[in-house]
Chains A and B, each alone.
Chain A
Amino acid sequence: MHRRISRWARAVAAATGLLVIAATASGCLGKDSKTDSGRNAEVKEFSLTIAANAIAGGKNAAGAEWVEKWVIPEFIKDQQAKGRTAKVTFQPSGAADEDYKSKIALDLRSGSGADIYAIDGIWVGEFADAGYIKPIEDLVGADKVTGWEGWSQIPPSVQGNMSYNNKRYGVPAGTDGRVLYFNKSLFSQAGLPADWQPKSWDEILATANTLKTKLPGVIPIQLNAGTAMGEATTMQGALPLLVGTGKEIWSNGKWEGNTPALRSMLKAYEAIYRGGLGDPVLQQDAKGRDKSFQAFAEGKIGILLESDYLWRSVVEPTKGIAKMANRDQVVGYTLIPALGAGKGIRGQDFVSMSGGGGNVLNPGTKYPQQAWELLQFMNSKAATVAQLAGSARITQRQDVNTEVLAKDPMLSFVSTKVLPLTAYRPGFAVYPRVSQALQQATLDVVSGKSADDAAATYQKALEGIVGADKVASG
């Protein structure tokens, strides 16, 4: 008996000892490192890595090609002229955005990884709060940042995409806007107009019903929903509808909880997916977004809410991931109506959402000055024009936009008609978690819950994320 007690005592002592070791070592659970902006500033030979969620032959292939075929060789040449030997590599990814985000969060946390990362604007807040990224001026010096000519070409609203607490964390890479796409040949088969412009949600549903009766086998309308699509659900589904009810997800210090506006949004999902107008199974598929692109390109979807990304990278006739040779003839686009006339935010009849990503510097980079030089180079006028490679996109630079947007009617439509009435997501670190709760609410409706139940569950999740006192409800 005595022996047994002493054995226990020893085991307890050993466990306590290990716990103490663990607790001491745990000081490194948090992360806060100092950066020296002058580090390696004078070296003649350096190597840099650029990482983006883009890969040749796959996701965002044009972006990958631009980095590999233009940025890298041109930058090396540029450095050679200055007597320096640069070695630049590209680290591609072709993953879902959420997976890419987890990956780079872990990279940055461990203080390793690429020197320049392409990230989505809404990640800036949470990455900055975590200390994973830092204001560019802290990394390279304030005079070096303000000295760049590029800032004067980038509108403040676009700079906001890569800023947090009024500090620039990165250089934005342009912006985008959402519209309703529709398949004109399906519309003409159903006797619907080619210059379709719905003025209310009811009108969209009525058109979808016409497609349903006239064209069996075609999915009348697909509205992004569910968690598998990640932020695409929020940006191309929940939020454009929400601003159409006159509310933003965050305003005056409160997040939109279980309110009439939120319930109207979820009821629209109910009408589409429980009324047989959209395909609920597609929204639950792990590869749902790619499949929706494919189905749209094959003429199996009548109406699809998407960003200009669909036009320039998905159904684009030569480089898209779901090419449509006859895109210009078949794909129609129109403004997203509010719930009804004047019911949108700021009393608008039509609404949209915009976002955009950009490039940040890894605070752990060995060569902060050279990385910043590369980042400026990537956002120079010449580089931005080269990135377009003859096609169009709303770039970060006004001097480029004025030259190229006129060439593409769709993108000048976004630039002149959509951007003036668009809205942006709130730049808080907590936003991505709210977004996940919204995605879950749409998934609940798609997989069978009523809009009211889904809204109640969402309210509870939201209170857990931001605190009950910051949630508007009723």
Chain B
Amino acid sequence: MEAATAEPVGVVAPRATPTDVVGLGRRRALGFVAPAFALIGVFLIFPALWTLYIGATNFRLTGTAARSPDFVGLDNYRHALEDPSFYRSLWLTVIFVLGSAVIGQNGLGFALAWVLRGVRRWVRRSVETLVLLAWILPSSVVAFLWIAMLDRDGGTVNAVLGNTPGVAWLIEYPMAGIVVFNIWRGTAFSMMLYSAALSSVPPSQLETARLAGASDAQTLRDVVFPHIRRYALTNTLLITLWTFNDFTPFLITAGGPNHRSEILPVYLFNTAIIGGEMGYSGAISLIVLLINLVLALVYLRAGRRRPA
């Protein structure tokens, strides 16, 4: 039974394989992978090292430090680790990722996938289309719509609720605003992934559970979850990383008011481009890169563990 289940985060068991199965020879094999290595080098490794270098200077967008930046060693990193605004952004990012991705998109995506299994085909198709639409529309268009919807003076929400004077939603509740926005925006991916995952649960097992008199909660816990555990992990890993690096909230609140929704990507932009502190932002970028790597490692570890 277990073997029939498709596993997205598969781990190849170590076994003794000959080093040259295809018979290309080491040199030709290297020739084949060289373009890939070159691309990774140019677009991944070089920018990372470049960031490392910029982060070690006092480079600025304007002024003398733009013409001839000085090497300052680890000063930027020390500054970042002492800077309350960095920790504030980190904390807001944690809230944003947990609220909108790990709980929001995961939960809503699974709930939609679960509920839509049993409904008529046309209902399922229309709901799926609507959810997908939220996902595929261009960010700038979507951001404009949300601002128009939540605006204090002419916003749709205030008009519907009949609030006068209106509530400035994005100023009173900026974090809640971008969390809800991101759930709305990104649920489609989780929904589709869970739809596919649920189809891998053998109907016979669900039927058996039903005949044995298991409640819905019991069925989910004991029959469905063991099958989709790895999908859930993959999904959570992907949406966590995406959300962690998501810049779209900038289009809605620009990190404001008074930095209250300044998640790390927005903080980086505001520091580097608006504040002009390129060197300092380079240092923060590298810290963000490390956090991303750690997150990915944690999830990969969790995925490797065999179910008890």
Contact = CB atoms under 8 A, between A and B. Distances in A.
A22 interface: yes
Given A22-B52, A98-B274, A102-B61, A131 B257 contact: no
A286 B254 contact: yes
Interface in B256-280: 256-258, 273-276
Nearest to A440: B258
Nearest to B278: A29
A130 B258 CA distance: 29
Given A22-B53, A29-B69, A227-B256, A102 B274 contact: yes
A329 interface: no
Interface string B40-68: 01000110011011100101111110111
Contacts of B185: none
B235 interface: no
Interface string A97-131: 01100100110010000000000000101110111
B256 A228 contact: yes
A132 B254 contact: no
B168 interface: yes
Interface in A110-161: 123, 125-127, 129-132
Contact of B53 (A23, A126, A286, A444): A23
Contact of B254 (A29, A105, A228): A228
A130 B63 contact: yes
A285 B54 contact: no
Interface residues of B, number: 33
A91 interface: no
B46 A18 contact: yes
B12 to A, nearest CB: 19
B253 interface: yes
B53 A31 contact: no
B258 A32 contact: no
Contact of A30 (B52, B67, B276): B67
A129 B273 contact: no
Contacts of B54: 29
B220 to A, nearest CB: 43
Interface in A311-359: none
B108 interface: no
Contacts of B49: 18-19, 21-22
B64 A285 contact: no
Interface size bracket, A side: 35 or more
B153 interface: yes
Interface in B61-91: 61-64, 66-69
Nearest to A295: B153
B275 A129 contact: no
A109 B66 contact: yes
B171 interface: yes
A30 B257 CA distance: 34
Contact of A284 (B52, B171, B275): B171
A434 to B, nearest CB: 13
Q: Which of A22, A228, A447 has the most CB of B within 10 A?
A: A22
A105 to B, nearest CB: 5
Contacts of B253: 286
A1 interface: no
A237 to B, nearest CB: 16
A127 B152 CA distance: 38
Interface in A235-279: none
Contacts of B275: 433, 436
Contacts of A286: 253-254, 256
A405 interface: no
A98 B272 CA distance: 13
A98 B26 CA distance: 55
Nearest to A285: B171
Interface string A281-309: 10011100001000000000000000000
A199 B195 CA distance: 71
A387 B172 CA distance: 43
A126 B171 CA distance: 33
A443 B153 CA distance: 21
Interface in A51-75: none
Contact of A447 (B66, B258, B276): B258
A429 interface: yes
Contacts of A19: 49, 52-53
A22 B171 contact: no
B46 A22 contact: yes
B69 to A, nearest CB: 6
Contacts of A433: 275-276
A429 B57 contact: no
Nearest to A291: B153
Given A126-B63, A130-B67, 8 more contacts: A22-B50, A98-B274, A126-B62, A129-B63, A129-B64, A131-B66, A228-B257, A443-B257
Interface of B: 41, 45-46, 49-50, 52-54, 57, 59-64, 66-69, 152-153, 168, 171-172, 253-254, 256-258, 273-276
28 contacts: A18-B46, A19-B49, A19-B52, A22-B49, A22-B53, A25-B50, A26-B53, A29-B54, A30-B68, A102-B61, A105-B61, A109-B61, A109-B66, A126-B62, A126-B63, A129-B67, A130-B63, A130-B64, A132-B66, A226-B257, A226-B258, A227-B258, A284-B168, A285-B168, A286-B253, A286-B254, A291-B153, A433-B275
Interface of A: 18-19, 21-23, 25-26, 29-32, 98-99, 102, 105-106, 109, 123, 125-127, 129-132, 226-228, 281, 284-286, 291, 429-430, 432-433, 436, 443-444, 447
